[in-house]
Amino acid sequence: MDIEFNKREDQNRLKLSEINRLLSEIKKGGGEKRLQKLHEEGKMTARERIEYLLDKGSNSIEIGAFAGFEMYEEHGGCPSGGVVIVMGYISGEQCIIVANDASVKAGAWFPITGKKNLRAQEIAMENRIPIIYLVDSAGVYLPMQDEIFPDKENFGRIFRNNAKMSSMGIVQISAVMGSCVAGGAYLPIMSDEAMIVDKTGSIFLAGSYLVKAAIGETIDNETLGGATTHCSISGVTDYKAKDDKDALNRIKNIMKSIGHNEKAGFNRIESTPPKENIDNIFGIMPISRSEQYDTYEIIKCLVDNSDYEEYKPDYGKSIICATARIDGWSVGIVANQRKMIKSGKGEMQFGGVIYSDSADKATRFIANCNQRKIPLVFLQDVTGFMVGSKSEHGGIIKDGAKMVNAVSNSIVPKFTIITGNSYGAGNYAMCGKSYDPRLIVAWPWAELAVMGGTQAAKVLAQIQESTLKKQGKEISEEERNEILNTISKKYQKQIEATYSAARLWTDAIINPTDTRKWISMGIEAANHNPITEKFNLGVIQV
């Protein structure tokens, strides 16, 4: 390996190390003291509950660990959105687990909490896999109720989804392991099976203090909505558990008994590791997002046996399209080539830019994968579509629209890995969050924005300077630089991988060496849901 490789490897591993450091802090939830208090109350923490449920030694992936990162700081913060969500295996069955973290504001729901819960339900619905709710929440965080309560994608959508999943035959199991109040009280009864932990679990539309204020009745919370009440009198819950482990053991037993539905039938053979060392990714990826590299080298680090079959290799070279296998699964890869290349017409093309011929090729390849029932993997490192008179006259908008159309109407499951840049309309064409990837993750150095930080900062600075001039204010060179630096600093923060993950624009920031696991588990989940639609591009300008 050359010295540049070693430099890149060192810098990129430092970025991963920083992500892991932040993640370690996030996993402490509301802090060590609050976690200890849960233990004193006889409870396990949210993460301990999930760890106990999951099959030992099995793979798992955490969705939205960075949700809420550096948000709501005026309210004391909301680590991981106050809820832990994991895809894993219980008694051999792949499922989604949603566990309220009572160490964070007693498990109260912030706006990002609702968004994250809906994302978990979306994954369960798209893939038709069971979903387990470990309930321990004080309900809506009242100081922000206007942002969590009334809108379509707010708190109430959770219960709408409960009903929809029930009609779809998706298994839902609830364990009430702490508070379950107000609107949240509908969750257990809308699940297939519900249990409650004695003395620590409680369910009611209104707690004892509110009951006293509303109707004058004096009653304690245990009598009002404890385990004995709901298992013996109201019938809201099906089982009474003596403690957390007892409830979790019952969930394990239920999962042992569920039947299997028809599979989608995605092709899989025995898995083979890549010939190329996957750790080489750290040395291949450049330090600066504007530098070039050869995407073929990345693909070789990710696919089985480092072997792939390329589609139209001599045409539309700024996008690589190839079929390969990842952990045995047959996949179609659509990847931005980040190396400056010469087109079939002999013209030089910039790496990471989508040209007309590339968009045309990708459209055809996506259609072929849909025809052959092959899941799609997008390796996204894109700065956008090519601009300028030559591209406009050549119909770049039309060809780009065809690619967006193909991505939008694709019926096979899609998975997006943001390996570097994710800018502008390139984000859309390469299956950004708006285009329903089953999972979308970013590598630690990824950047997601309308345009790159340097260009955007210059544009915004020019606009601000122009506004000041219209007001009759002259700007010195020092003031101009100060404006540019201020805007650059703010914009650069907004394009970082942590900023995107905090808002759930991505599902996770992952170690590149875990990419194969995420794709494999994603396809396995998708394989639970047979494809019933037909691929149709609809009306497009040819």
> Which of 331, 362, 347, 339 minimizes the C-alpha distance to 426?
362
Report the chain (542 residues): mean pLDDT per 10 consecutive residues: 91 98 97 96 97 98 98 96 98 97 94 96 98 93 86 89 95 95 80 94 83 84 87 91 97 95 95 98 94 97 98 96 98 95 77 90 97 97 80 74 94 98 93 97 94 67 74 76 77 91 98 98 98 84 58
Question: Cα(113)–Cα(115) distance, rounded to whole angstroms?
Answer: 5
> Which of 64, 43, 28, 210 minimizes the C-alpha distance to 505?
64
Residue 69: strand, helix, or coil:
coil
> Which of 213, 324, 281 minimizes the C-alpha distance to 445?
281
Which structure tokens are listed for 464?
A: 């601000």
Helix (H), strand (E) at residue 54: none
Question: Cα(494)–Cα(488) distance, rounded to whole angstroms?
Answer: 10
The structure tokens 């003031």 sit at 479
Alpha helices, DSSP H only, in 128-156? none
Q: Which domains does the chain have, with CATH numbers?
A: 31-257 (3.90.226.10), 279-446+506-528 (3.90.226.10), 452-495 (no CATH)
Helix (H), strand (E) at residue 385: strand 384-385
> Which of 85, 84, 96 minimizes the C-alpha distance to 30?
84
Contacts for 250 with CB less than 8 Å, ≥ 6 apart? 175, 195, 239, 241
Q: What number of helices (H) and strands (E) belong to the chain?
A: 20, 20
- DSSP-derived letter for residue 355 is P
- DSSP-derived letter for residue 291 is S
Dihedral of CA 91/92/95/99: which sign? positive
pTM over 0.75: yes
Question: Cα(483)–Cα(290) distance, rounded to whole angstroms?
Answer: 23
Res 476: pLDDT: 76
